[in-house]
Amino acid sequence: MPLRILLADDHTLMRQGLRHILESHADLDIVAEASSGIEAVEAAREHKPDVAVVDVAMKELNGIEATAQILKHSPHTAVLMLSMHSDERYVMRAVKAGARGYLLKNSAGDELVQAIYAVQKGLAFFSPAVARLFQDGGLRLKDASEVNDRFELLTDRERQIYQLLAEGNSNKDIANRLGLSLHTVETHRWRVMEKMDLHSTAELVLSAVRRGMVI
């Protein structure tokens, strides 16, 4: 039976390129595509894919937060992160969220296929430049389990609103986008600021940039 694949990337051309590479393999079946982290979570909930190929940098809900939610709804799905960045911030957060692999976007097509097969089998797969971070001692997989971080206090909804605020959306914009009341969004915003010990929008944006949630 073919492996069932979910592709999540907010660039249409990128998804088309990934699809073109994977469709040449008869044992890989693309069952869904998503253009945002929110869509990726919903697609995973509906289709329960074997492997989700997820871009790190997506708006509204980034790929790392989407990964954590995908695995809540479809724990048997193996997540392979795609990124332009080999920065350890992204790698460690991806591993911590539950991703089994981290592939740079400048990788060759056959490396993508190899990575999909590997993570589906329960193996870890990292692009060579990322793997060197581990080999050189810059990263430690055991560090991924550390939770000494105020961000861990946020609920899934609060994390989503945290990112939307950092992207420059107003409370009203967020309420309309998420189908929530303005009061609910304001309450979530207050809780985010309190839990993260932030005192202004500028501090919130800076903290999100440092965390690698917005670029």
Q: Could you give the percent of the chain with pLDDT greater than 70?
A: 91
What are residue 34's DSSP bridge partners?
A: 8
Residues 45 and 121 in one domain: yes
Strands across the sheet containing 51-55: 28-34, 3-8, 51-55, 78-83, 101-104, 125-126
Mean pLDDT of 146-157: 73
Residues 139 and 171 in one domain: no
* CA distance linking residue 190 with residue 184, whole number of Å: 10
Quick check: 215 pLDDT over 70?
Answer: no
What is the structure's pLDDT at 137? 53
> What is the value of pTM for the model shown?
0.71
Residues 121 and 173 in one domain: no
Domain-ending residue, one of 122, 144, 166? 144
Residues 154 and 136 in one domain: no
User: Who has greater pLDDT, 215 or 115?
Assistant: 115
190 burial via Cβ count (<10 Å: 0-12, 13-18, 19+):
exposed
Q: What is the CATH number of the domain that holds 179?
A: 1.10.10.10
Residue 178 one-letter amino acid: L
Quick check: 22 pLDDT over 90?
Answer: yes
What is the structure's pLDDT at 174? 92
116 pLDDT band (50/70/90 cuts)? very high
Domain-ending residue, one of 121, 144, 167? 144
Residues 183 and 207 in one domain: yes
- pLDDT tens-digit map of 26-70: 999 999 999 999 999 999 999 999 999 999 988 888 999 999 999
What is the structure's pLDDT at 59? 82
Q: Are 90 and 103 in contact (CB under 8 A)?
A: no
Q: Which domain holds residue 140?
A: 3-144
Tally of domains within the chain = 2
Mean pLDDT of 7-29: 93
